[in-house]
Amino acid sequence: MTGKAMRLPIYQVDAFTDRVFAGNPAAVVPLESWLPDAQLLAIAAENNLAETAFFIRNGEGGGEEFELRWFTPAVEVDLCGHATLATAFVISTILEPGRERMDFATRQAGTLTVTRDGDRYTLDFPNRPAKPAERVDPNLLAALGGPAPAAVLSGRDYLVVYESADAVRALAPDMALLAKLDLFAVCVTAPGEGGVDFVSRLFAPAQGIPEDPVTGSTHCMLTPYWAERLGKTVLTARQVSARGGDLLCELAGDRVKIGGQAVLYLEGSILV
């Protein structure tokens, strides 16, 4: 290393859960100004979490007070729910305790608003409905294994629908084959049980995330699908990964509202 290292604060937050070691862990790094993209990606790769969120205060005096970006260990992504929740948690509980609303300018997903009511956060995200897939990558079903799905739709990700939650839990995909698919990720879903409207899992090995524990962004696609299928606009969801997580989803026109909790796991600093 040459020159003096820069010290940056870092927080690790478990999102979409009310306890540590569950939900989806995200790193949050506040910045004074943007670092080079290669350095942001290197930090995310070093953290080796599904997502690292970076944010700055918007110096242009616009309606969005913060600018927000998200990186997996491999790529920058267009939208991330759990790391947005984690960022809002850090701002409203540590940096500005008691703050109840945060508006984030993003590069590809427009303005995202997060509101806080006690220990619950609600994300206002774009509605991204999937459509029946006109073309399905021939490796998709072979990579997933398991029973034949009831339906295959596509948006940013494949949406593969199964008949039962047990079928979704039992999947053991071939990650090397999944990584060769032609869309960003694969979301599998089925009707829920025990008071849960639907369950899901999300695989994105090509993006450096074999299985994402809890995925806010894919609920922009899941919510309109299940709202139409079940005939209701407010739904309870559970992502049935090993860590697991719970979300409260609402279809609101061209927006999807995603609610959840978060808890701080780690607070420290990094040297770059």
Structure tokens at 145: 């294994």
Structure tokens at 38: 């290669």
Q: How many Å apart are CA 194 and CA 236, to the nearest integer?
A: 11
Q: How many Å apart are CA 235 and CA 226, to the nearest integer?
A: 8
- Say whether 51 is catalytic: yes
Structure tokens at 227: 């709202």
What are residue 234's DSSP bridge partners? 250
Structure tokens at 22: 């569950």
Q: Which of 32, 51, 76, 134 is catalytic?
A: 51
Active site residues: 51
